[in-house]
Amino acid sequence: MKKALFGISFLFILLIIGSCKSKDPAILKVFVRSSSNQLMNGAKVVVIGDQQSTPPTLNFVDTSYTNSSGFTVVDMDQYFDVSGADNTTGYFDIIVKYNTKTATGYSRCRVHTTSVETIYLPN
């Protein structure tokens, strides 16, 4: 009787532990630097889903501003929550505007990972 009870308890614990999955957030971290390599505070960063990519990325647009450390964090979970469980990768165009300067970049983001991009503003 004790062996059966112990076996059932052990099986129950294994099921609970096995069902717990780590769900790290999907994050796109964008650093903005000047042509002299200084981190830029207050730069406007626009992230747009690239619908011409293979496989195509769904509609997505998010705008944020860099902080005093010269970077911004875009929560990509908002994209992956809508895109479905089968879509684990997205491709995104990045547009940075600071005063009269504009620069572009490109990023590939995956679910449950952090992607980091650095965009350099022109002279």
Residues 58-98: pLDDT tens digits? Answer: 999 999 999 999 999 999 999 999 988 888 999 999 999 99
Q: What is the mean pLDDT of residues 18-35?
A: 85
Q: Where are the domains of the chain?
A: 24-120
Average pLDDT of the chain to the nearest whole number: 89
CATH superfamily, domain 24-120, is Carboxypeptidase-like, regulatory domain (2.60.40.1120)
Rounded Cα gap, residues 113 and 27, in angstroms: 6
Q: What is the mean pLDDT of residues 34-51?
A: 96
Q: Give SS3 for 19.
A: helix
- Pairing of β 71-75 and β 89-98: unpaired
Q: Band of the pLDDT at 4, cuts 50, 70, 90?
A: low
Q: Are the beta carbons of 96 and 119 closer than 8 angstroms?
A: yes
Rounded Cα gap, residues 71 and 27, in angstroms: 12
pTM above threshold 0.85: no
